[in-house]
Amino acid sequence: MSKCRKCRSMFSEAFYNELSAEQKGWFFSHLESCSKCASEYEGTAVAMQTMSQRERTTPDGLFWQNYWANLENKLVASEKSAFSAKLWWQRFIERLRFQHQLAYRFALGLALVAVGVLIGKFYFGASKTQQFHFRETGLEAELHSQPSLEMRVNRYLDRSKILLLGLVNFDTNLQDTYVLDLPYQKKISRDLVQEANYLKNELSAPGQQQLRKLIADLELILLQIANLEMENDLITIDIVKTGVDQTGILLKINLDKMARRGQLPPGSDVETNKINRSQI
């Protein structure tokens, strides 16, 4: 076990060819004799190679200029809508003040409706057993209702974002891994990986390919977290943090959600992430 632990601590140096000749000889000799370490190193090397080939994209100035302009327009429109509603309500109250007869008739109509409802419920209402059956049926229908695809996508992105933010903000040099609660993080990661498999199968429309690719990228990072061997596996934690930074996955999540909510100007690159509403 101590040899395997020593071998895993050398994965990063071996991948970047930073081992001395003596260390390199011992390392590859151990891999030949330990299939578990060899499999783990191969998986880590594939993940690191995949992440090293990615380039982090940064939105240009034109993107942010259009974004803020569009956001400002939405805020102004929202304020106008709130002002219009308030103005309408004030006019309605003023009309009621000068039309007492109409207000009295309206109140009388409400009273008659209420009396009619009470009479119907008392004389013609269903029995208690039937009422209980109706309530139980409605409750069962609510409990068995399934969330829409869009709700599941939003929940998957939100949970993944919270998980990655906790990992990115963790300082391996100053904080103890106990703060992360890695067993719980691994469990959440495994659940999200299973959810990713379902979402990738459902997002099959041509306009959903960008969103499907984002979920696949998240799945790769979540698999690394789910496969953490020990609570103090700081090397793999650093690898995951580096992958999150290089891929810009958190920014992609934010931009994707903004695009699907219609908060980005038309023509943005992330506009293609929008879910095809007819498919949900």
**276/195 Cα distance (integer angstroms):** 19
Number of neighbours of residue 55 by Cβ within 10 angstroms: 8
If you average pLDDT over residues 10-26, what whole number do you get?
A: 83
3-state secondary structure of 248: coil
Distances in Å between the Cα of 115 and the Cα atoms of 101, 104, 127, 128, 231 are 21, 16, 20, 21, 67
Q: How confident is the model at residue 97 (pLDDT cuts 50, 70, 90)?
A: low
**243/222 Cα distance (integer angstroms):** 11
Residue 279: per-residue pLDDT: 39
pLDDT (tens digit, 9 = 90+) per residue, 214-272?
888 888 888 888 887 766 667 777 788 788 888 888 888 888 878 877 755 544 444 43
If you average pLDDT over residues 35-58, what whole number do you get?
A: 78
Q: What percent of the chain has pLDDT over 70?
A: 68
pLDDT (tens digit, 9 = 90+) per residue, 100-150?
666 667 677 778 888 888 787 776 654 555 544 545 455 454 444 557 888
If you average pLDDT over residues 186-191, what whole number do you get?
A: 86
Structure tokens given for 191: 């659940």
Name the residue with tokens 């006019």. 91
Tell me: pLDDT of 275 over 70: no
Residues belonging to the chain: 280
Comparison of pLDDT for 121 and 38, the residue scoring more: 38
Helices (H) and strands (E) in the chain, counts: 12, 0
Mean pLDDT of the chain: 74
pLDDT (tens digit, 9 = 90+) per residue, 156-184?
889 988 888 887 787 766 666 666 677 88
**40/147 Cα distance (integer angstroms):** 37
